[in-house]
A = this chain, B = another copy of it.
Amino acid sequence: MSTSTENPAGYSIEEGNAASRNAYNWSKKTFQNRSGKPGEPAQDLDGGFSNEIRFGAERLGISSDGIGTKIEVAERLNKYDTLGYDLIAMTADDLIAAGFVPTNLSNIIDVNHLDYDVVDQMMRGLHDAANFAQVAITGGEIAELGNRIGGWPGAKMNFNWCSTAIGVLHPSLAQPLSGKTAQAGHAVVALRSPSFRSNGYSLARKTLQKVFGDNWHEAPYDGSDADQHATWGEAMLAPSLIYSPGVAALLDAGLPLHGVAHITGGGVADNFSRVLKNGLGAVLDTLFAPLPAMQRLCEIGDISAETAYLYWNMGTGMLVVTEEASAAAVVASLQASGYDAQVAGRLTAESGVTLRVAAGELRYA
């Protein structure tokens, strides 16, 4: 499946990828600045943006990300105390996907005009999320940028929020998790996502705007879990579940992990493909059911399953590759940590990812 410059979310995935590759190429030329010195980047990870840096015997990971347009939902609802979970999830779960246990986080809040109470709510939520993820917030900056920051016009404060997290390579790992040791027949364990996390909001908001108009956040929510959320705004603001403690517990228990994929922008197949090395593929036939809000958006917005699985996590937020003999123990450990987890499929010797979901079979080359 290829992406095109015209797409339902209204932005170009191709141009974004090209700019990111170019930025990475400029960055890679700076790696030599730390050659043989503290902060030396690991050069031995094939593909992607290596985020391992070494200080003496310590092997650290670093990850930066923001929570993007999900913030508009918080502005619409005037509720800011759950975004901290989204912020930490983006970077902490990228780190644990490579085997780095998140330890510290530094955050930057860019605002148009400062509102003390909004920042207080944000930081309270960040504090709660940091305790959940067992990280320390060891850096922060608030910048007042006037008209450089926009958002929902009715909000007390418009803002963007991003962070950089640091983690330490789990002591049981000789190398960061990359998928290189995975084999055909290995089991894939899925962790359920109870929310949108911080991706896919362009398509979702476009759909909600079209169906319900400007104040879509006030429209009554009518997904199959309508008991959980009164309005579409509430359904769209549901916070990200942070998976890093659960995956760290798998490593603590000595369970064999051969690759972990954090399902963010690009959906299940694209993100899982990144851990498929050596020509391997996968058939995932028992993924979690689509998140009810995503299912309902497909119905009211006439969005195909192909499109939905390309932009949204569809109810699965993380995939863990383990050995068949350990799959039950991995599921049990994750459940003991409080996560919904189940075996979702197997790796195959043939390349490509096949998702067998209620809507049919989706194949990705």
Contact = CB atoms under 8 A, between A and B. Distances in A.
A291 interface: no
B12 A64 contact: no
Contacts of A131: 30, 33
A130 B58 contact: no
A277 to B, nearest CB: 22
Contacts of A103: 34, 37-39, 53, 55
Contacts of A38: 58, 101, 103, 168
Interface residues of A, number: 86
A32 B53 CA distance: 25
The residue among A24, A109, A123, A138 with the most chain B CB atoms within 10 A of its own CB is A138
Interface string A157-184: 0101010101110000000000000000
A295 interface: no
Contacts of A332: none
A62 B140 CA distance: 10
A108 interface: yes
Nearest to A58: B55
Interface of A: 11-12, 15-16, 18-20, 22-24, 26-27, 29-34, 37-41, 49-51, 53, 55-58, 60, 62-66, 68-69, 71-72, 101, 103-104, 106-110, 113-114, 116, 119-120, 123-124, 126-127, 130-131, 134-151, 158, 160, 162, 164, 166-168, 202
